[in-house]
Structure 1
């Protein structure tokens, strides 16, 4: 379970999936080496669903709220207290980066320590949580909430996990936080931000195409939707799902909505029909948009077929001429082998 923690935030926020009505509350901490060209050596960011609550940096020394409705509906003293807590974590992360550099025998260079944790409240009332630690972009330790222990994700982290499990009660403390305090905080945000967190915006959908040397690439673009989770797929003849040629990433828009694109490649002379199927929590049923070749695409297909026919006819003519020439000169071709190591011309096939 080795994940790239440098892209973990993108994965959690962007990767598409079947829509659900769950809510999440999560934190991301990052510490870096101190010779990082003026970058903050420690940052901490908090999110409720896809809304950034705020961020702390070693430059600002305070947790600054970033979403207007959260500013209006939360206690300012809470975030003042959290600023003091993050100042303490800044010190701990500086120590942590140096400690892990020693553990990995790194004497210099740019290195990162990351910590991600959060909880989710699902639409059926169930809860879940996670706690992951990473060094230099790779997960090295995770909290197993079932066994209430830290598990090493890399062999090099075995001794660290063992030390945490035997010398601290960190696993039990984090389990209690994720299943109790984190969930209670999330419920408060859901109540105070219901209008924002539970709003639903229908996706706009369009299909575009691009002709290539060996076929056509079809793009299904859904945009302007909220919440983030969506399922977009291509179907052949409305029955068979067609795998997309690239990974799908849900990207944020400046207005708080999202967009995603699903692309497939088909042969120019493919006679099947293709349709884009979209499921989103703002819809009561699956929306289906069927691709209809544009005039340019139709011309391209006809031209491709014409070129194929011309190439085939040309090849047949060449073969026919070679056969005729071979029959006329076959005696000469064979007779030359008597005086030469290599025949001047090949015998007829």
Structure 2
């Protein structure tokens, strides 16, 4: 379960938006040598919310939100399914090629593509990102300043030269990431605005596993994901002996976050500690005061992400390994016009 939670952390790290900044990301993962999960998956997210999903067992792409299901027709799902089936074959081939380049003959290996864009609907500023990873490390990274591929590994240099010397494809990649991706993001935000533009206040609780454990402030059920959770001591921000957790998704589309404070019983009696939660778009601060040690709840903390983990389990391995090993990670990723979007998701052979 720890590995699965790390997976969700990896996915959630891709989503760093505010009330006026929107993002779209796709995560495509191919896994070899592991029978427990599908060999190929694709997860599409808008503002951190999964809206489409494909895997090689289902052999079709399916909606994960009401707003996408209500706003597209059958041709959208057929085209997206056909694209994923073609991509699945290319990714399977790319895993085999990469294994050869790294002199590997067996074992579990992961090839992953992550890309997307962000748009600030106040300032109009846009950003794009795309990169490939193999076995938890960057394989190819797209430079958004030069619009060319960079090879972090010697084994990827042959692909870098090959792809950078295809002018038509390089021009289209630039056009997609700077224009078409933004157009689709705006369209999806409009489809899901009643969900994506909402604000939901958090529920805040304080917990301890044992009397000697750190005190955990747990905020959950809030939306959007842009949140600040902090500890204060006697009315002043307190950072000493504080451990900050990641923002994680809940299975209902909201988010959760924890922050841990190590404090002695004497300090706790002699000072006023309180947890302060601030959610973007909500003016009110949510405050929970840490009371005397004898009055505290001594209960175990149980994560609330099991349902989501089951939905995205196929992506876990790739994201977890990439996030754990890569220093850079993934950095800022009628419906008849879906053909143009599909062409932006081309999966070339390495």
Q: TM-score range by the shorter chain?
A: 0.7 to 0.9
Q: Which residue of 2 aligns with 1:260?
A: 257
Q: Which residue of 2 aligns with 1:111?
A: 109
How do 1:69-218 and structure 2 match up within 5 A?
A: 69-123=67-121, 124-167=123-166, 169-209=168-208, 212-213=211-212, 217-218=214-215
**CA separation of 1:9/1:210 partners in 2, compared to 1, >3 Å: closer, same or farther?**
closer
Is the Cα–Cα contact under 8 Å of residues 221 and 255 in structure 2 kept in the other structure? yes
Q: Which moved more, 1:189-198 or 1:57-66?
A: 57-66
CA distance in 2, matches of 1:84, 1:99: 23
- Secondary structure at the aligned position of 1:105 is classed as coil
**CA separation of 1:41/1:128 partners in 2, compared to 1, >3 Å: closer, same or farther?**
same
Offset at residue 276 of structure 1 (A): 1.4
**CA separation of 1:18/1:92 partners in 2, compared to 1, >3 Å: closer, same or farther?**
closer
**CA separation of 1:87/1:141 partners in 2, compared to 1, >3 Å: closer, same or farther?**
same
Offset at residue 285 of structure 1 (A): 4.2
**CA separation of 1:58/1:187 partners in 2, compared to 1, >3 Å: closer, same or farther?**
same
- Secondary structure at the aligned position of 1:266 is classed as coil
CA distance in 2, matches of 1:161, 1:243: 45
CA distance in 2, matches of 1:130, 1:9: 20
Offset at residue 8 of structure 1 (A): 7.1
Q: Which residue of 1 aligns with 2:221?
A: 224
CA distance in 1, matches of 2:143, 2:246: 28
Deviations, residues 188-222 of structure 1 (Å, cap 9, x unaligned): 11112111111111111122346645xx6222111
Offset at residue 15 of structure 1 (A): 8.0
Deviations, residues 144-164 of structure 1 (Å, cap 9, x unaligned): 111111112335433432332
Offset at residue 59 of structure 1 (A): 2.4
CA distance in 2, matches of 1:93, 1:209: 45
Offset at residue 80 of structure 1 (A): 1.0
Offset at residue 38 of structure 1 (A): 6.2
Q: Aligned-pair RMSD on alpha carbons?
A: 2.6
Query: Which has the larger Rg?
Result: 1
Figure out how many residues of one structure are paired with residues of the other and give that number.
289
Offset at residue 56 of structure 1 (A): 1.9
Structure 2 residue corresponding to 1:44, chosen from 34, 42, 45: 42
CA distance in 1, matches of 2:17, 2:215: 22
> Could you state the TM-score of these two structures normalised by the residue count of structure 2?
0.74
- Secondary structure at the aligned position of 1:200 is classed as coil
Offset at residue 172 of structure 1 (A): 3.4
Higher relative contact order (CA 8 A, sep 6+): 2
Q: Which residue of 1 aligns with 2:283?
A: 284
